[in-house]
Amino acid sequence: MQIHASIEELMGEFDFDPDALKTKYLAERDKRIRTDGIEQYVEVTAEYSRYIDDPYIEPGFEREPLFDEVEVVIIGGGFGGLLAGARLREAGFEDIRVIEKAGDFGGTWYWNRYPGAMCDVESYCYLPLLEELNYIPKHKYSFAPEILEHSKRIARRYNLYENACLQTGVVELRWDESSARWIIKTDRGDRMKAQYVAMANGPLSRPKLPGIPGINDCKGYTFHTSRWDYSYTGGDSSGGLTGLTGKRVGIIGTGATAVQCIPHLGEWAEQLYVFQRTPSSIDVRNNAETDPAWVESLESGWQQQRMDNFNILVNGGDQDEDLVGDGWTDIFRNLTRVAVTLAGRKLGRRLNSEERAQLLELSDYRKMNQIRNRAENIVEDPVLAEALKPWYRQFCKRPCFHDEYLPTYNRPNVTLVDTHGKGVERLTENAVVVDGTSYEIDCLVFATGFEVGTSYTRRAGYDIIGRGGKHLSDHWSEGLRTYHGLQSHGFPNCFFLGFTQTAITVNVPHALNEQAKHVAYILSESRARDKQTIEVTAEAEQDYVDEIRRLSRLGARFYAECTPGYYNSEGEPGNRSGFFSEMYGAGPIQFFKVLEQWRAEGSLEGLDLR
Ligand code: NDP
């Protein structure tokens, strides 16, 4: 690589060879590319369905089926559903029913109770509605039980328990033209009607399992991290896994989830085997208790201001002050558009496209060298440290932040089984086999993540049948088709909250809140205009889809060079159902502005109200 003089002037001397790093990255990617892509995982149905049973409820819950009608049904009681409920209540909607498969509100925080579970996005931004509920999290990064409790607090504050159907899974949603209502069937025999439906299913809600030969032969105790079985391990989310004393435990996966629970497994298991396919990037955490003096200093409107400040900084914008000041803002400031803007200011001119690409690539190498050095400095055994080094660009996989993960490998009872990108070979009755070697285990934890890249309706677990019998699975078979990510033509009064052609941001609840406000606005306007149905026109949907496709080409090359993972549909960045494939490519700052301006304009452009 011929480094531009301007880049050398900006970045100083380089103590690495960028070409050698690029070659290494591509070789590591190639080692992991597989022809079966997302098909390597098995769907958690049939003989695998026990992996998604709810371990947190008392068995035996029963109720009579419902055949009634409500104004709004919200499907999903996680942050998307809670925010939709809150904003609709604020807008004066009384007749709301939340339907939720789990035994309580909380969504991802209901399910993910594994030891060490916490949120690595700053809690003062991440936990929704803090000012509305007059609540301040205990730490800069909250632990899972506090977030679950906060979810329930939101549900109580906005009266969402009233009329809710918990432990209830939707099996079909069908539009009834004659009554202009949705008919919702559930696995509890309900057949209820609703004028409006808000879908808040969550993007990472369906656990996935690797399609490893022998997975059903394993007689060891097995479960997925999102259904942690404390009746077996003992302890709780804060640790104390006394049930693992004397046990040989295996864990498959080293993503963001595994990184948080491995320190606890290492502490309690007699022997822990970590089966690694690709190492994560592990940066500094530095969690801290909330400072009461800081809380005293807060003024009204602080949370929105903090969320906006964070969102701008992690999406390429500039701010005078970095209020959150953590690893996220650091990497985004140094590795994205902000770095380019700052560099331009220093040079006194705009960087050309080549300079821009080079600045970002070289900054990335420098950052990842820092991450790799961190592994080397913390992990005593140099061979082990080497195996824990990630060889890809920072945003190829989700960056992780943890202070106890790497030191866990210094424990004598913890063994990293590096599969060199190949993954686990097979399972036998009592062992995990890698490259011909058997590792005997009593318990095996699948930290293998969640289904991504499959169709929306498959992940939801049911289809939506709109006007004229049109199935959503058909309408979206060639890729998502929405307007502002929230509505689809032929599916009146139905709103999608989440990652369907919207803009994603690190602080996911921020995006959900903007969507919830938008839906509440549309429903309020419809009510004020005395209308019964709201549907996006075919033209508005097409225009928006065109815009999405035009903007979404932006990151394709970047992800093509990445090591496989769910960010690039396991090495298939062109997958239309992929995690980032159909995002609003101009980013969340612009997306939130688009929604806000659309509301301010007031004509409900693109919608047909009847
Ligand atoms: P991931 O999909 O990120 O990780 C799955 C892991 O399983 C990877 O390490 C993967 O390896 C490994 N794996 C899959 N198949 C095999 C196999 N056959 N053999 C060996 N290893 C295998 O799931 P997570 O649950 O860790 O995280 C999912 C997401 O949840 C995160 O990316 C994040 O968005 C969110 N999360 C957020 C947290 C927060 O603090 N806010 C905390 C935890 C999760 P490979 O990399 O090679 O594919």
Q: Is 298 exposed, middle or buried (0-12, 13-18, 19+ CB in 10 A)?
A: middle
pLDDT at 346 over 80: yes
Q: Average pLDDT of the chain? A: 95
Name the token pair of 4. 């531009």
Q: Cβ(512)–Cβ(590) under 8 Å?
A: no
pLDDT at 553 over 80: no
Give the count of beta carbons closer than 10 Å to the beta carbon of residue 83: 29
Q: Which of 385-389, 575-579, 587-591 has the lowest mean pLDDT?
A: 575-579
Mean local confidence (pLDDT), 405-416: 98
- Please state the atom number of ligand 1 nearest to the C-alpha of residue 212: 18
Pocket test for ligand 1, best of 448, 512, 569 (most atoms within 8 A of CB): 448
> pLDDT by residue (tens digit) across 149-159?
999 999 999 99
pLDDT at 317 over 90: no
pTM over 0.95: yes
- Please state the atom number of ligand 1 nearest to the C-alpha of residue 277: 47
> pLDDT by residue (tens digit) across 88-138?
999 999 999 999 999 999 999 999 999 999 999 999 999 999 999 999 999
- Sorting pLDDT into bands at 50, 70 and 90, what band is 573? confident
> pLDDT by residue (tens digit) across 61-73?
999 999 999 999 9
Name the token pair of 240. 């104390």
Give the whole-angstrom CA distance, residue 67 versus residue 189.
9
CA atoms within 13 A on the CB side of 501: 27
- Sorting pLDDT into bands at 50, 70 and 90, what band is 229? very high
Nearest to 136 by CA among 295, 306, 299, 326: 295
Ligand 1 midpoint to CA 255 (Å)? 3
Mean local confidence (pLDDT), 505-518: 97
Q: Which domains does the chain have, with CATH numbers?
A: 69-206+452-609 (3.50.50.60)
**Residues pairing with 210 in the sheet:** 41
Give the whole-angstrom CA distance, residue 28 versus residue 112.
30
Ligand 1 midpoint to CA 521 (Å)? 36
The residues lining ligand 1, judged by C-beta closer than 6 Å to any ligand atom, are 119-121, 204, 210, 212, 252-258, 260, 275, 277-278, 398, 419, 423-424, 447-450, 565-566
The position carrying tokens 């690797």 is 210
Termini Cα distance of the chain: 61
- Plot region of 596 (φ>0 → left; ψ -120 to 50 → alpha; else → beta): alpha
Alpha-carbon distances, residue 105 vs 99, 120, 199, 596 (angstroms): 10, 21, 15, 29
Q: Cβ(388)–Cβ(379) under 8 Å?
A: yes
Task: Please state whether beta strands 443-446 and 437-440 pair in parallel, antiparallel, or not at all (unpaired).
Answer: unpaired
- Plot region of 461 (φ>0 → left; ψ -120 to 50 → alpha; else → beta): left
> Which run of H or of E encompasses 400?
strand 400-401
Give the whole-angstrom CA distance, residue 97 versus residue 73.
5
- Sorting pLDDT into bands at 50, 70 and 90, what band is 195? very high
CA 262 centroid distance within chain:
20
Mean local confidence (pLDDT), 176-183: 98
Q: What radius of gyration do the chain's Cα atoms show?
A: 24
Ligand 1 midpoint to CA 449 (Å)? 5
pLDDT at 556 over 80: no
Q: Cβ(546)–Cβ(11) under 8 Å?
A: no
Pocket test for ligand 1, best of 398, 416, 417, 424 (most atoms within 8 A of CB): 398
What is the dihedral angle through the alpha carbons of 26, 27, 32, 38, rounded to the nearest 10 degrees?
20
Alpha-carbon distances, residue 88 vs 81, 164, 424 (angstroms): 10, 15, 47
**Which distant-in-sequence residues (6+ apart) come within 8 Å of 467 by Cβ?**
175, 177, 490, 491, 492, 535
CA atoms within 13 A on the CB side of 391: 20
**Residues pairing with 416 in the sheet:** 274
Name the token pair of 405. 């993960």
Question: What are the strands, taking DSSP E only, across 429-470?
Answer: 431-434, 437-440, 443-446, 464-465
Ligand 1, atom 25: nearest CA belongs to which residue?
449
Pocket test for ligand 1, best of 254, 275, 280, 505 (most atoms within 8 A of CB): 254
**Which distant-in-sequence residues (6+ apart) come within 8 Å of 372 by Cβ?**
389, 390
- Sorting pLDDT into bands at 50, 70 and 90, what band is 322? very high
Ligand 1, atom 23: nearest CA belongs to which residue?
449
- Sorting pLDDT into bands at 50, 70 and 90, what band is 554? low
Mean local confidence (pLDDT), 572-599: 90
